[in-house]
Structure 1
């Protein structure tokens, strides 16, 4: 596969949140900004400076690191990657010693009930592992509302979920499929709710189910 055809890493967060949202954005190329996505963009803009490397004692902070995994066929950008001096780890150009790689992802708001942020961060770690030929046991999510870092352990279960989600994404992408809408509580915060129109889609499914039941009843009456 041509690297130009790789899926965007950020899409895994959309897909884990709602497969239809992901398909509308990444398959049908639809997007709409709302206050939540705008404030999140401002936070990322403050973190994104590809020429910025800050030294804090035994920690190097690098921003906007390009990511790619040829195994997963996915690419993207890491908000922040910290390199911690360690007895073992990776070599860094123009730096002495060895360094442990730690991805950091910035999010607005606070920790969510689902795992969409965790799978995105884990996917970043998998890319970094492939790029640096190393192992990354954990990373951090930084939430703007609480101004607090939450550690994420990249265990086997989370890694398998990342791989499974990407396989599902490719299955939809390669076949040009957009899942049907399903009205949920999380739709209220979705930036593309007006493009998705889950209320109409869900109402249509209810009508279709009602018509199916009526037709089945009618068919049953004719045969008895």
Structure 2
């Protein structure tokens, strides 16, 4: 990407989950589906087809709302943004899984909130993740720590996509088995290479009693 191109907000989510995955998707256009991504695509497609509405409580709900920030160099789309009668604005991101906290999802909602703040000129202190499988929301407080994390991630993702250097695999027992790019990434090769390097280094270590 060029240095002036906006960074997709979704790239911040991918980067926080795994920098290598972020690079493969956004720099090399590599992507394959698994059951998790297909469910997510289905859920987002359902939301995209909805039209704006006003609830009985007077909350105006906008779906698939484009957002951007010139200051951060970000662009993206909110699944849902609620505009409440008291003037508060509340972005809601849809995820297909069970209700649990993933920092990369919180980062995505915070980035959306910061874009809305710049666009609307008002503070957005909270947002939420709607977990489809649990059918429950999890509120995300957009505090100073999360805001700083968004700014840092935006800079790091821009540098990653501009420098065009593929990061090494993370080989993480929690994240890698669920990743749709596992076969492309092949994190087990990194583990094997590390093991070989350890064995090779041990072959050339002199014994303590060697004269």
Decide: shared fold, TM above 0.5.
yes
Offset at 1:208?
Answer: 2.4
The aligned residue for residue 204 of structure 1 is: 193
Are the counterparts in 2 of residues 3 and 73 from structure 1 also a CA contact under 8 Å? no
**Inter-partner Cα distance in structure 2 for 1:65 and 1:119:** 18
**Inter-partner Cα distance in structure 2 for 1:83 and 1:190:** 35
The aligned residue for residue 83 of structure 2 is: 83
Are the counterparts in 1 of residues 107 and 149 from structure 2 also a CA contact under 8 Å? yes
**Inter-partner Cα distance in structure 1 for 2:100 and 2:15:** 15
Instruction: Encode CA deviations 1:174-204: one digit per residue, 9 max, x unaligned.
Output: 1112211121121110010000001112211
Instruction: Encode CA deviations 1:104-147: one digit per residue, 9 max, x unaligned.
Output: 10001123443111000000000111111110010111001110
Gaps of 5+ in 2: none
Counterpart secondary structure, 1:28: coil
The aligned residue for residue 37 of structure 2 is: 37
State which of 125, 132, 140 in structure 2 corresponds to 1:152: 140
Normalising to structure 1: TM-score of the pair? 0.86
Offset at 1:3?
Answer: 9.2
State which of 95, 102, 109 in structure 1 corresponds to 2:90: 102
Relative to structure 2, which stretch is displaced further, 36-45 or 113-122?
113-122
2:179 matches 1:190: yes
**Inter-partner Cα distance in structure 1 for 2:92 and 2:76:** 14
Offset at 1:4?
Answer: 7.1
Offset at 1:210?
Answer: 2.7
Normalising to structure 2: TM-score of the pair? 0.91
Gaps of 5+ in 1: 87-98
Number of aligned residue pairs: give it: 208
The aligned residue for residue 99 of structure 2 is: 111
Task: Spell out the pairing of 1:162-201 with structure 2 (5 A cutoff).
Answer: 162-185=150-173, 186-201=175-190
Counterpart secondary structure, 1:79: strand
The aligned residue for residue 11 of structure 1 is: 11
